[in-house]
Amino acid sequence: MARVLLRVPTMTEKGSVIEIRALIQHVMETGYRPNAQGELQPRDIIWTFTCRYGGEVVFNATLSPAIAANPFIAFTTIATQSGPVSFTWEGDNGFAQTETRHITVT
Amino acid sequence: MTISRRVLLAAPGALLLPAPTRADQQKLAAALRDFTGGQPMREGRVRLDVSPLVENGNAVPISVMVETPMTAADHVRRIGVFNERNPQPIVITAQFGPRSGRAFLATHIRLATSQALVAVAEMNDGSFWSQRVEVIVTLAACIEG
């Protein structure tokens, strides 16, 4: 499992706009870099990131090799109700990881 | 935007760099056309924040903000970021909706060389807005094997 850093508020007011920051450990090998033998290293990137809030998709991004290693993404969403917020990364070579946090909305 | 001393000092170096080739420009134009579906793009509403002088092209912080209330009647549907001279013109695309609260996206990207970045936003009424920013890169990504 790749290491993940998530900044999600644990408690917030209903209707407030919250900023979420997500970072995951990953090489994001571009597929354009030669290795020591001079051969191109095959592409190995995360190509999609999805955030679900209470089961509903609230944010989705499609990444490319131009995203730096250990992809960092920040975005906002409205705190609608208490519930789970899940983050899913999917990529080459069957990479898939999901992390979940709980938000309490008052 | 005021031109800082730092940018001014780097300017002679930038002048020595080869200008973007026709192929680069066509690649970028084709990627933009893919994103907009050939609809006209207007300047404005989009703010692409990136340092004008980048010391390390391996991880360049960028952020995109779009002026919109993000209501059901007026919101951003998609934001795309494109570049001129990386191996691929596409950087990132993201989906938004009224639940986003703000049209905001931040990430860290790679830049192979000094070049232009373009951020485009698609509004729910089908209009496209954009901003283009020129960036000088002193240490490029992708050169170390």
CB contact under 8 A, A74 and B59: no
pLDDT, tens digit (0-9, with 9 covering 90-100), for A58-84 = 999 999 999 999 999 999 999 999 999
For residue A90, the distance in angstroms to the closest alpha carbon of chain B comes to: 15
Range of the domain at A85: 1-11+42-106
More confident residue, A103 or B20: A103
Closest-approach residue (CA) in chain A for B97: A58
What pTM was computed for the model? 0.87
- Amino acid sitting at position B124: N
Tokens of A54: 């209470």
Q: Which helix (H) or strand (E) holds B33?
A: helix B22-36
**DSSP secondary structure, A83-97, as one string:** EEEEEEEEEGGG-EE
Q: What is the CATH number of the domain that holds A70?
A: 2.60.40.10
Total of domains in chain A? 1
Report d(CA B21, CA B28) in Å as an integer.
Answer: 11
Cβ contacts of B36 within 8 Å, gap of 6 or more? B120, B122, B128
pLDDT, tens digit (0-9, with 9 covering 90-100), for B84-126 = 999 999 999 999 999 999 999 999 999 999 999 999 999 999 9
pLDDT, tens digit (0-9, with 9 covering 90-100), for B25-49 = 899 999 999 999 989 999 989 999 9
Closest-approach residue (CA) in chain A for B106: A74
Is position A32 within any domain? Answer: no
pLDDT, tens digit (0-9, with 9 covering 90-100), for A20-64 = 999 999 999 999 888 888 899 999 999 999 999 999 999 999 999
CB contact under 8 A, B94 and A75: yes
Q: Which domains does chain B have, with CATH numbers?
A: 5-137 (2.60.40.2470)
Is position A50 within any domain? Answer: yes
Is position A49 within any domain? Answer: yes
